[in-house]
Amino acid sequence: MSVTVTVVASEAALAEEAAHAVTGAAEEAVRHAGRFTLALSGGNTPRRLYARLATPPFRSRIDWPRVDVFWGDERCVPPDHPDSNYRLAYESLLSRVPIPPERIHRMRGEDPDPERAAQEYARELQRVFNLDPGGRPRFDLILLGLGADGHTASLFPGSATLNETARLAVATYAEPVKGYRLTLTLPVLNAAARVIFLVSGETKAEALRAALNDGASPNRPASLIWPERGAFWLVDRDAARRLAGRADGDR
């Protein structure tokens, strides 16, 4: 499987490059399949991207009524909570573009039973993707981030969730943050047509180096993401400090 690493000068440049990538993927998917299925990530890095997608020229290039939006993971908090991944995306992007509400498929982080919320999300995936029993959704694009500990989505180092092979979404207790999360599983992430990692900041430099150079390991969950068309990494120079020539582009 291929890995493509593009290094850009700043976090703002990262958002611009990512906006071009998302828009291109959306145009291609709508042209060939009539819709675009996208899973969003949380955290601070994608905030600039979401805001950029909601402004010209990207806003008008995406056929929003043909976009189905999902999430790769969610904190177990209400949708109006400051930590909610849904709230981040809604405020910076979804409330500012003409996407029909029924095409926004959020994880119910407020459910007092996280396992039930994960099961409901799996059923939503089965419905929207019209899956046969045991089938896996094939997202056109999944956006992912990278934690300083090597986690991605809510797949944390050493978690039993990394061994999941059948379920599409699970609830997991994230020991590093002392709280429950909902997350898509590795089989779903690896079934995507395209995965793009967005990584910024010097605090991610060692985790990025390890994910790209030290081989696949449950101690580095991001290193376990190997979709069919390869993994695309968009990183800024601060995050790329320890890559030592691994970048395929530098803008």
Domain residue limits, the chain: 3-196+210-225
Q: Let me know if 86 is exposed, middle or buried by CB neighbors in 10 A (0-12, 13-18, 19+).
A: buried
Q: What is the pLDDT of residue 1?
A: 60
Q: Which residues of the chain have pLDDT under 50?
A: 246-251
What pLDDT sits at residue 251?
44
> Which backbone phi and psi does 193 adopt, to 5 degrees?
-65, -35
Q: Report whether 229 contacts 9 (CB < 8 A).
A: no
pLDDT on residue 245: 61
CATH number of 3-196+210-225: 3.40.50.1360
pLDDT in tens, 79-132: 999 999 999 999 999 999 999 999 999 999 999 999 999 999 999 999 999 999
